[in-house]
Chains A and B, each alone.
Chain A
Amino acid sequence: MRVNFTVNGRPQEADDVWEGESLLYVLRERLGLPGSKNACEQGECGSCTVRLDGVPVCSCLVAAGQVEGREVVTVEGLADHAKRRTEQGGCGTGSCGTSLDAAQRRQPPGAADSHTGEGTELAPIQQAFIDAGAVQCGFCTPGLLVAADDMLERNPNPTDADIREALSGNLCRCTGYEKIMDAVRLAAARQGEAV
């Protein structure tokens, strides 16, 4: 079957999708977006976390056919997503010209960039993960970034308990989670300073 949906702000079309296929498989194998990781395939690890109509979900548990007409944000689109959010948040008095302009200039994640990440602007949460040394093998990182970014969007001043709960569906097997906690605290603090 064919599935039409929006990925990182751009309409996409996936063909020859098997009816029992997951959104994760479509993203990785059919659209060439390998940022969302495939590990447990049962919703245990959170490595495949994406936003579906704004809500964080395990893309391995979403049937491809269920995303028809829906909007998906993957880790590849996170920088852009965060940027748009900042610009919208900054237009309290109604001068939203930049937001529209930014939307028109928006580029899809280029093939080279989506693989290496080089040359692309980073979301604040991504920069914070780098600065805090929260990335070891990196396999859990994309899922953690999407989940943490969602939490900071809803809860700009999280307590440690809030962070732990928000990230409780994301497993990391390298670290003791402490650097990850540091990174999210750092991103929250920087977000607070920027406002």
Chain B
Amino acid sequence: MDFLRPASWEEALAAKAEHPTAVPIAGGTDVMVEINFDHRRPEYLLDLTRIGDLYEWETGERSVRLGASVPYTRIMEDLRGELPGLALASHTVASPQIRNRGGVGGNLGTASPAGDAHPALLAAGAQVEAESVRGTRLIPIDDFYTGVKRNALAPDELIRAVHIDRADGPQQYSKVGTRNAMVIAVCAFGLALHPESRTVRTGIGSAAPTPVRAKAAEEFLNAALEEGGFWDNGKIITPSVAKQFADLCAGACNPIDDVRGTASYRRHAVGVMARRTLTWTWESYRGTATRTEGVA
């Protein structure tokens, strides 16, 4: 095994081009487990922790460009306003020790269907900035997950950053596990209201071979909200609409039975989380809308 220690991003890209099998390592919270248990013996480890740029973020007008290695601790403490869904998701990651090391770049690189960040990224809307010596490209999050622990990266590419749309409305995140810490999600659900475009987006984790959106549920809800004038009148969402939305979210799952839970439990739990997160976010939206009207 060789330990490659690039001092800059350019050096890292050159190293990855020269050794496409090199395994990038940042927080090490996935990679080191595999090495400790001898599940993986990569020929090259490509250490990215010397590259300071990866630990920084820039807040633009429309989106946040989040460096691939920004630890979850920073996201939950410093980006709660811009990225509330991802901040909530970050807070559910493992433990303080793990949140101090792990980041979204690693979550995307591993592309486990159980990765905590994925539902939040899918719901918020995001693009993965992948770079190689050949150039840079932005991969829409919807096209990023290609299979169980597979992603759209080319062998010579590294994840530089994730561009996540800044929240223009309430966002929520919910995760099912046996306790509040150190839990791999049995399943997880992210939901974001986008009042500017009058749309709702979702993300489901651990209930299909890849993280997925519940697109049929989104389309149904978008139409129902539009039809009922909900975005304007701020009424409570009709229970039948919430139920239909929940059922469609459960239907978007394609789960398996495993040690953490059965497929039918996962489907059921995703439906429950869909209904709850919709209620929480909508109540928050109504609260804001009412206040705005009051001021005007």
Chain A positions near chain B (C-beta within 8 angstroms): 1, 18-20, 22, 41-44, 46, 49, 55-58, 60-63, 65-66, 68, 147, 165-166, 168-171
Contacts and interface: CB of A to CB of B under 8 A. Distances in A.
Nearest to B180: A168
Given A61-B101, A166-B96, A169-B182, A22 B36 contact: yes
Nearest to A65: B3
B36 A57 contact: no
Q: Which 5 residue pairs are nearest across A and B when measured between Cβ atoms?
A: A169-B95, A168-B181, A19-B3, A19-B1, A41-B36
A164 to B, nearest CB: 9
Interface string B34-52: 0111000100010101000
Given A46-B95, A147-B96, A22 B2 contact: no
Contacts of A44: 182
A43 B72 CA distance: 15
Interface string B1-22: 1110100000000000000000
B222 interface: no
Given A1-B3, A63-B31, 11 more contacts: A18-B1, A42-B36, A43-B32, A46-B97, A58-B29, A60-B36, A61-B29, A62-B101, A66-B25, A66-B49, A168-B182
Contact of B27 (A61, A147, A166): A61
A62 B49 CA distance: 11
Nearest to B181: A168
B181 A63 contact: no
Contacts of B28: 61-63, 66
A58 B99 CA distance: 10
B241 interface: no
A24 to B, nearest CB: 9
Given A19-B3, A147-B96, A168-B180, A41 B101 contact: no
A63 B95 contact: no
B98 interface: yes
A43 B100 contact: no
Contacts of B98: 43, 58, 61, 169
A65 B5 contact: yes
Interface string B96-135: 1110110000000000000000000000000000000000
A65 B32 CA distance: 12
Given A18-B1, A61-B101, A63-B45, A168 B96 contact: yes
B94 interface: yes
7 contacts: A19-B3, A20-B35, A46-B95, A56-B97, A61-B27, A61-B32, A62-B28
